Amino acid sequence: MKPVRLWFKKDGLAVYISHLDMNRCMTRAVRRADIPLWYTEGFNPHPYMTFLMPLPLGQSGMREPLDIRIEGEMSFGEIQKRLNSVMPEGIEIVDVAKPEHKPNEIDAAEYEVDLWFENASDAEKFSLGASKIIEGGVLNAEKRSKKGIKTVNLCELVRSFDVSACENKVYIKTILAAGNTVNLNAELLVNSLLSELSLEETDRNIVRTKLLRSDLSIFE
Amino acid sequence: MYPKELERFLLKVQKPGRYTGGELNSVVKDKNSVDIRYAFCFPDTYEIGMSHLGMKILYSLINAREDAWCERVFAPWTDMEEVLRENNIPLFGLESGDAIKDFDILGFTMQYELSYTNVLNMLDLAGLPVRAKDRTSLTPIVVAGGACVCNAEPIAEFVDITLPGDGEEVTNELIDLLKEYKAKGATKQEFLAAAAQIKGVYVPSLYEVEYNEDNTVKSVTPTCGAPEKVEKRNVADLDSMFSPTEFVVPFLEVVHDRTTVEIFRGCIRGCRFCQAGFLNRPLRRKSPETVEAQCKAICNSTGYDEISLCSLSTSDYKGLEKLITNMLPWTVEQKINIALPSLRADNFPKELMEQLNAVRRSGLTFAPEAGTQRLRDVINKNITEEEVLTTAAQAFAGGWTAVKLYFMIGLPTETEEDIEGIANLAQAVVDEFYKNPDKPKGKGVNVSISVASLVPKPFTPFQWEPQDKPDVLIDKQNYLISCVKTRKVTVSRHVPWTSFLEGVFARGDRRLADVIETAWRKGCKFDGWAECLKPEVWEESFKENGIDPYFYTARRREYDEILPWDHMDYGVTKKFLMNENVKAHKGETTASCREKCAGCGANRLNGGVCDETGKTVV
């Protein structure tokens, strides 16, 4: 039994596949690819498969980790080739590697967010307003957790935040807390900023670009 | 490609995966390279439609042609409908995102009477008039197939063509014909008249229906050379018949998400309430070799870990043991579970059951259908209480603790005693559990009984029978519940109003078109969904159009009455059905086709051949 970390990209219409559905989708993909999966030994054997950081519905991911276990020998290159030949549109295996870090070492994630507005002045307004709020250090929002809804200061979960506007488009690059204990969904941050500034976007695009460890080195 | 304006709304609706397409094995073609664009329309949600085998077969079959592209369309749920209407986005095909009003054929599959309003709603969402006569151009042609079109009269005003019987061959012939008529610039009328000459094609507009004063049918007269009787299409050989090797693999969890391979069509049993058992005669069998090869191919192309060997009565398949024994080595190795729906309690070997559960254990379900032997004889469900109890005992010995039993109420000649019999049979199954010396410790037994209401259907021996009114059914349901004395038995029941509406449409005629349209205009859709059904709106719609719904359900029909579906020929003769009706009232059973050919007459459609009897007499 050998642990293997798959790194996949999810974009296009595949962003509308929910996390639960991704699970089913990937289980079937590894079966189609005839990868010698290791099955759990319980009453209902199922392949071992763990998504380390479920991607919220509607967001793209450039490099998302998925841990599996295999039985027997198969090279990483072969696994990648086989999987990509059976993947549905919008999902691609970009790398297969040995897991370097433990899942709980994920501490932050980098996002790139595009927002489109009616006009350049709204974009400008958002860009200026948002950096001011983040610098100010207070942006309270209701956050749902297992224990119920509580108010959280989102700024405490923002590690870095760059925003700029060009014509009617706003471009954000940000690093947010991620992981099992504290996590900030980029969508919540964007929605809170928009409502705080009383602005409405016409379209948006959120991409998670990388996962990071606490020293901001890349999670591998 | 996909309508960009739509993407913005996808996160505002439940389960956006219903509307995005892009699943594995979905087929995307260059629209400029095909002559015919076909929208396969399923008038219910994605999750229901994606479980339907017929759609998978026809989708692959059409897409196997270079000159045609078949896309899927499902009824959008109410939240998505709002988005589409508010933003003037016409109903689109999942593969291309293109508006289906520009397609050549819209093919609806009619599996359930309560999806009729959804057909109207989908046509309207597409931007098309709902009435066939108001769609004057050659394309799109609106086609309907599936079990309900054995009596297409209630939807005759809305669809252009129906395809009674097997769709595998006739779909290709219809596409060929449309391609030819499109190329020569023919009119819709010319095309319809030509289509009516294909075996297994019914063009409702070519038939004139006259009614008697008492509202029964007086006559049905074909025009433009359409045949007097429309014979259903019958595929003779299931081994050479087109069968898909790939299924579209949904992302969303759908009702049946697995490899499904048919093992035979038709049924040897002759249960008198069962429409499918009569509509699909004569029996035609697929060889075990073909079945196994198809299972392997689909598992490989989908990654599914469950196979369902499907038919109307799977344990009646000759060669089932051999088939399963051959399949077990590779399915166990690949951790694939084999599911056998529609097993009978009387003829399934225990050892086989144990082997089957090597991978994952599935539930156990029996369908005694009625509570007493007398009533089981009336409906010709040739199963005894002893057989049910023996099988249940075996199952309990094998470690099962839950059993599901299916029953029906509202059956002809039913008395209180029969209803009490349902509770008694369930109790007997509970007792069987406690008789087992090796029963698992600390675990109780759960027997759940599901009680449906009989809806007499066309082409069954019960097609002349009155159907119980909703209030009678409610009384019967309550009586049953009062007879259940233990909490180890749980009862679930159908909504009587649903069965009532189903009954109206099942045996309805063309006069119902106005009612359906009125109800739809007043907001009725997804009538099969308890949360969407609006009985008061339907009642209003019947009243406004001067139609008494009980005319269709509560009345006993005379044998010599012209039934609205009499001009359809499903092989089984009316004389045979009448004789079965007479026998039902006498409580006489008819042996299964395996024991003795009952002479139903369906082999006539198959060149005299029935795979069960092997007889080649006409």
Number of domains in chain B: 1
Give the 3-state secondary structure of residue B126: helix
Q: How far is A24 from chain B (nearest CA, A)?
A: 7
Per residue, the 3-state secondary structure of A88-134, as one string, reads CCCEEEEEEECCCCCHHHCCEEEEEEEEECCCHHHHHHHHHHHHHHH
Report how far residue B301's alpha carbon sits from residue B291's, in angstroms, rounded to the nearest whole number. 16
φ and ψ of A59, to 5 deg = -105, 145
In CATH terms, A105-212 corresponds, of 3.40.50.150, 3.30.70.920, 3.30.300.30, 3.30.420.40, to: 3.30.70.920
Q: Identify any residues that bridge with B35 across adjacent strands, giving them in sequence order.
A: none
**How many CB atoms are located within 10 Å of the residue B358 CB?**
13
What is B493-558 written as a DSSP string?
A: E--HHHHHHHHHHHT--GGGHHHHHHHHHTT---TTSTTT--HHHHHHHHHHTT--THHHHTSPPP
Please, are residues B432 and B393 in contact by the beta-carbon 8 Å criterion?
yes
Closest chain B residue to A27 measured between Cα atoms? B303
Q: Which domain holds residue B129?
A: 4-231
- The DSSP 8-state label assigned to residue B131 in this structure reads S
Residues 41-60 of A with CB under 8 A from B: 44-45, 57-58
Q: How far is B391 from chain A (nearest CA, A)?
A: 24
Which one of A22, A30, A58 has the shortest CB-CB distance to B11? A58
Mutation pick from B251, B357, B362 vs chain A, by most beta carbons of A within 10 Å, is B251
pTM: 0.92
Q: Which of B486, B476, B397, B409 is nearest to B436 (CA)?
A: B397
Residues 310-349 of B with CB under 8 A from A: 334-335
Would you put residue A21 in left (φ > 0), alpha (ψ -120 to 50) or beta?
A: alpha
Amino acid at B256: H
Q: Is residue B450 part of a domain?
A: no
Residues in A closer than 8 angstroms to B251, CB to CB, are: 17-18, 21-22, 24-25, 88
Which one of B251, B301, B335 has the shortest CB-CB distance to A45? B335
Which one of B16, B22, B303 has the shortest CB-CB distance to A29? B303
- The DSSP 8-state label assigned to residue B50 in this structure reads T
Report how far residue A162's alpha carbon sits from residue A177's, in angstroms, rounded to the nearest whole number. 15
Whole-number Cα distances in Å, B85 to B39, B91, B517, B529, B531: 20, 9, 19, 21, 21
CATH topology of domain A2-99: Alpha-Beta Plaits (3.30.70)
Residues in A closer than 8 angstroms to B301, CB to CB, are: 32
Mutation pick from A32, A116, A201 vs chain B, by most beta carbons of B within 10 Å, is A32
pLDDT for the residue numbered B393: 86
Residues in A closer than 8 angstroms to B360, CB to CB, are: 44
Decide if B21 touches A, using CB distance below 8 A.
Answer: yes
**How many CB atoms are located within 10 Å of the residue B86 CB?**
9
Amino acid at B450: S
What is B376-420 written as a DSSP string?
A: HHHTT----HHHHHHHHHHHHHTT--EEEEEEEES-TT--HHHHH
Q: Give the alpha-carbon dihedral of A108, A110, A111, A112, to 10 degrees.
A: 160
Q: Which of B379, B542, B407 is nearest to B465 (CA)?
A: B379
CATH number of the domain that residue B214 is part of: 3.40.50.280
Closest chain A residue to B20 measured between Cα atoms? A13
Please, are residues A118 and A36 in contact by the beta-carbon 8 Å criterion?
no
- The DSSP 8-state label assigned to residue B200 in this structure reads T
CB-based contact B22 A32, cutoff 8 Å: no
φ and ψ of B397, to 5 deg = -65, -30
Residues in A closer than 8 angstroms to B24, CB to CB, are: 25, 28-29, 86-88
Q: β-strand B68-74 against A108-116: which pairing, if any? A: unpaired
Round the average pLDDT of chain B to a whole number and report it. Answer: 93
Q: Which of B217, B184, B220 is nearest to B204 (CA)?
A: B220
Please, are residues B162 and B171 in contact by the beta-carbon 8 Å criterion?
no
Check if the interface score ipTM surpasses 0.90: no
If 0-12 CB within 10 Å is exposed, 13-18 middle and 19+ buried, where does residue B551 land? middle
Residues in A closer than 8 angstroms to B17, CB to CB, are: 16-18, 21
Residues 350-369 of B with CB under 8 A from A: 359-360
pLDDT for the residue numbered B617: 41
Please, are residues A30 and A93 in contact by the beta-carbon 8 Å criterion?
no
Q: Where do the domains of chain A lie? A: 2-99, 105-212
Report how far residue B306's alpha carbon sits from residue B326's, in angstroms, rounded to the nearest whole number. 16
| Residues sharing a CB contact under 8 Å with residue B431, sequence separation 6 or more, in sequence order | none
Which one of B2, B7, B304 has the shortest CB-CB distance to A28? B304
Residues 6-35 of A with CB under 8 A from B: 12-14, 16-18, 20-22, 24-25, 27-32
Dihedral sign for Cα atoms in the order B594, B598, B600, B601:
positive
Decide if B10 touches A, using CB distance below 8 A.
Answer: yes
φ and ψ of B367, to 5 deg = -125, 80
Q: How many angstroms from the chain centroid is the CA of residue B205?
A: 25
Extract the tokens encoding A184. 């900030």
Decide if A157 touches B, using CB distance below 8 A.
Answer: no
pLDDT for the residue numbered B618: 36
Q: How many angstroms from the chain centroid is the CA of residue B516?
A: 20
Decide if B301 touches A, using CB distance below 8 A.
Answer: yes
pLDDT for the residue numbered B261: 96
Please, are residues B451 and B491 in contact by the beta-carbon 8 Å criterion?
yes
Q: Which of B65, B100, B72, B67 is nearest to B183 (CA)?
A: B67
Give the 3-state secondary structure of residue B115: helix
Whole-number Cα distances in Å, B406 to B342, B368, B425: 11, 6, 11
Which one of A18, A45, A87 has the shortest CB-CB distance to B17? A18
Q: Is residue B163 part of a domain?
A: yes
Q: Which of B177, B190, B178 is nearest to B139 (CA)?
A: B178
Q: Which of B200, B153, B198 is nearest to B605 (CA)?
A: B200
Please, are residues B345 and B383 in contact by the beta-carbon 8 Å criterion?
yes
- The DSSP 8-state label assigned to residue A216 in this structure reads S
What is B218-285 written as a DSSP string?
A: EEEEE-TT--SSEEPB--S-TTTS---S---B-SS--SS-SEEEE-EES-SS--TT-HHHHHTPSPEE
Q: How many residues are there in chain B? A: 618
Extract the tokens encoding A105. 């070492």
Residues in A closer than 8 angstroms to B253, CB to CB, are: 20-21, 24
Q: Where are the beta strands (DSSP E) in chain A?
A: 2-10, 49-51, 60-70, 91-97, 108-116, 140-145, 148-153, 158-166, 169-177, 203-212
Extract the tokens encoding B160. 């252009």
Whole-number Cα distances in Å, B15 to B19, B47, B50, B102, B259: 8, 10, 14, 27, 23
If 0-12 CB within 10 Å is exposed, 13-18 middle and 19+ buried, where does residue A21 land? middle
pLDDT for the residue numbered B359: 56
Q: Is residue B349 part of a domain?
A: no
Spell out the per-residue pLDDT of chain A, length 220, in tens: 899 999 999 999 899 999 989 999 999 999 899 898 888 877 777 788 999 999 999 999 999 999 999 988 899 999 999 999 999 989 999 999 999 999 999 999 999 999 999 999 999 999 999 999 999 998 999 887 777 888 999 999 999 999 999 999 999 999 999 998 889 999 999 999 999 999 999 989 999 999 999 999 999 9
Radius of gyration of chain A (CA): 19
**How many CB atoms are located within 10 Å of the residue B362 CB?**
15
Amino acid at B330: W
Please check whether the two domains, A2-99 and A105-212, share a CATH topology: yes
The ranges of chain B with pLDDT < 50 are 616-618
Residues in B closer than 8 angstroms to A13, CB to CB, are: 2, 7, 20-22
Decide if A86 touches B, using CB distance below 8 A.
Answer: yes
Mutation pick from A20, A31, A92, A200 vs chain B, by most beta carbons of B within 10 Å, is A31
Q: Is residue B413 part of a domain?
A: no
CB-based contact B16 A16, cutoff 8 Å: yes
| Residues sharing a CB contact under 8 Å with residue B216, sequence separation 6 or more, in sequence order | B561, B562
**End-to-end CA distance of chain A, in Å?**
20
Q: How far is B18 from chain A (nearest CA, A)?
A: 9
Q: How many residues are there in chain A? A: 220
Q: Identify any residues that bridge with B220 across adjacent strands, giving them in sequence order.
A: B209
Report how far residue B282's alpha carbon sits from residue B284's, in angstroms, rounded to the nearest whole number. 6
Q: What is the pLDDT of residues A36-79, one digit of tens each?
A: 888 887 777 778 899 999 999 999 999 999 999 998 889 999 99
pLDDT for the residue numbered B558: 96
pLDDT for the residue numbered B403: 86
pLDDT for the residue numbered B357: 63
Q: Identify any residues that bridge with B202 across adjacent strands, giving them in sequence order.
A: B162
